[in-house]
Chain A
Amino acid sequence: SQTIHQWPATLVQPVGSPLSLECTVEGTSNPNLYWYRQAAGRGLQLLFYSVGIGQISSEVPQNLSASRPQDRQFILSSKKLLLSDSGFYLCAWSQGVSTDTQYFGPGTRLTVL
């Protein structure tokens, strides 16, 4: 069966510091991968998605970037964090066929101080 991992689970970072969040998927190959952000009490906002290694599409212009160095690895980064980057970051995968249902990881709670 497929599993998706995210780390770290929680992170507290000062404004202006760099960021690296990692997401890995097991049990499938060539998945579509997604990064979402959820502000407190809000729905999810799609940040980036990837249909293959090195292929990244950005949905929202911001100071975040994403990379996919391996088939089942998706990384969210920032060079300098802003207060507004605080939130709950969720990674998801889908198989790209049939209903293309997205399955989510446990998430990373980021607080920027």
Chain B
Amino acid sequence: AQKITQTQPGMFVQEKEAVTLDCTYDTSDPSYGLFWYKQPSSGEMIFLIYQGSYDQQNATEGRYSLNFQKARKSANLVISASQLGDSAMYFCAMRPFTGTASKLTFGTGTRLQVTL
């Protein structure tokens, strides 16, 4: 079984600053994928970034980067140059590379508030 832990229920960051959202995971699977999603107040889950467990380099997508530390089983999301539109819930998720479908396990989320 997989478990995702997000220990920060809420975070504040000033506009234009960088912020790190924490995510740790637990799995017995040898290979897996890690995902971050953003959920604005409208409710839709928006895919942000993906990291494979065998990827040698940390993933980056625009202002988003994933700080992947496999030995520590952590996959923190870094948002650079925060914008007011970044205010939302952020969920970390993972799936094992086994089975016929992508069964994601989600954390409980972190609410990010960007301030002026």
**A residues apposed to B, CB below 8 Å:** 32, 34, 42-46, 49-51, 57, 59, 88, 90, 92, 94, 96, 99-107, 109
Contacts and interface: CB of A to CB of B under 8 A. Distances in A.
29 contacts: A32-B102, A34-B102, A42-B108, A43-B91, A43-B109, A44-B93, A44-B104, A44-B106, A45-B106, A46-B103, A46-B105, A49-B101, A50-B101, A51-B101, A57-B101, A88-B43, A92-B45, A94-B101, A96-B100, A99-B50, A99-B52, A100-B33, A102-B47, A102-B104, A103-B47, A104-B46, A104-B47, A106-B44, A109-B43
Interface residues of B, number: 25
Contacts of A49: 101, 103
Contacts of B104: 34, 44, 46, 102
Contacts, number: 65
A98 B22 CA distance: 25
B43 A107 contact: yes
B44 A102 contact: no
User: Helix, strand, loop or mixed for chain A's interface?
Assistant: strand
A92 B33 CA distance: 17
B103 A59 contact: yes
Interface in B17-73: 33, 35, 37, 42-47, 50, 52
> Among A49, A57, A59, A102, which residue has the most Cβ atoms of chain B within 10 A?
A102
Nearest to A43: B106
Closest 7 CB pairs of A and B: A104-B45, A43-B106, A100-B102, A44-B106, A107-B43, A43-B108, A49-B101
